[in-house]
Structure 1
Amino acid sequence: MAKAQAQAKDSGNNKIIMVLLVLVGLMVAITAANTYLLMDTRTMAANALHGNATEEQRRDPVFVKVDPFTVNLRSDQFGPRLLYTGMTLEVQEGDTKNILLNNMPQVRSRLLVLLSGQDAEMISTPDGKMALSDSIKARLSEPYGGSERELEIFDVLFTEFIVQ
């Protein structure tokens, strides 16, 4: 009977030791994973800080200037309204700039048609300008001159914007 109790005591101690070893191993694995992830994020942050970015992040902006023009807006309770605006388009490198420059009369026509349907009160707000910018990007990205290729326009930057 004493032997049975001694064996039971030893097997209980063995179970406790096994559980403790598993927990210690698990903690070591978690610590190693955490250290690896911290080192990796520190490396990425250091690369970004020192300018070691990827080629895509280093892309130089390509801009196309659209000369300022005046367009009639929809009439409202204040009567006829005018918009005087100039803008610069940030475009994809390559043919996009040349396509826009070669089709500038069509670009300006698309802008005039789009802008003439706008409400003066709406485009006077910051949210209205952002929505207008999105509409311009979508309209000017459509193919030109019988081509089926859509252009990639990243941003519309208003350089002049006066509503009267």
Structure 2
Amino acid sequence: MSTATADVADATPPKAAGKKKLIIIVAAALLLVLAGGGTGLFLLKKSRAAAEAEAEETDGKAVAKAKLEEEKVEEKRVPPIFVPLDPFTVNLADRDAERYAQIGVTLQIEDAKVGEELKLYMPAIRNNILMLLAHKTAGELLTREGKLRLAQEIRREAMRPLGITLQLDDEDPPAAGTKKKKKKAPVDYPVKAVQFSNIIIQ
């Protein structure tokens, strides 16, 4: 009987060792599942955060673009500012007959500050425009192209006293055999345009 008890006693430890191994395996598997789930959850949260950040950035860009478009619309709505000049009466450069012109000029400008600055330089501006008109002939002023050219030249002469030089499109064409210069970015000039209120040639 003592031999049977010894056999039973020897048989019990292996069952306990088997249970321990099973518990360790189950615990390790559970730990792996929890670690995998935690990693998956972390990656999911990370990808959600990245997606939200990207969505916010896209929304931010969309909002910035919308604001920029609103500002452009507001700029377009701002009425232009005009500075009318006293009418010019000048003898023209025609050689065949005594001809003169009476021309009313209005400058379209960028803002009121430019208008105040132009008033300070008005004697020089008027002088430049009178000198320009005195070199014109009736034939030049009667054509549409001549009037458009005159408007460009008056714009240039109006900005000279301010220290701004406007290069007209057809001035100084490149010499034959030379490379064309790259187009420069458009410059924002304070005098935007020249409007004629009247042109009388006699």
Matched AA of 1:112? L
1:56 aligns with 2:75: yes
2:90 alignment partner in structure 1: 71
TM-score if structure 1 supplies the norm length? 0.60
Matched AA of 1:74? A
> Equivalences for 1:83-102 in 2 at 5 Å?
83-102=101-120
> 1:95 Cα shift?
2.2
Secondary structure at the counterpart of residue 92 of structure 2: strand
2:135 alignment partner in structure 1: 117
> 1:53 Cα shift?
5.8
1:160 aligns with 2:178: no
> 1:149 Cα shift?
5.3
> 1:123 Cα shift?
0.8
Matched AA of 2:86? D
Q: Structure 2 CA distance, aligned partners of 1:111 and 1:73?
A: 13
Structure 1 residue runs of 5 or longer lacking an equivalent are 1-50
Q: Structure 2 CA distance, aligned partners of 1:153 and 1:68?
A: 18
Is the contact made by 1:90 and 1:157 (CA closer than 8 Å) also made in structure 2? yes
The structure whose residues are more often helix, as a share, is 2
Deviations 1:37-74 (A, max 9, x none): xxxxxxxxxxxxxx996222123211101011210110
1:130 aligns with 2:153: no
Where has structure 1 moved over 6 Å in runs of 4 or more? none
Structure 2 residue runs of 5 or longer lacking an equivalent are 1-69, 166-188
Counting aligned pairs with the same residue, the percent is 32
1:9 alignment partner in structure 2: none
Give the length in aligned residue pairs. 111
Matched AA of 1:70? T
Q: Which one has a bigger Cα radius of gyration? A: 2
Deviations 1:9-62 (A, max 9, x none): xxxxxxxxxxxxxxxxxxxxxxxxxxxxxxxxxxxxxxxxxx996222123211
Q: Structure 2 CA distance, aligned partners of 1:72 and 1:130?
A: 20
Q: Structure 2 CA distance, aligned partners of 1:98 and 1:89?
A: 13
1:140 alignment partner in structure 2: 158
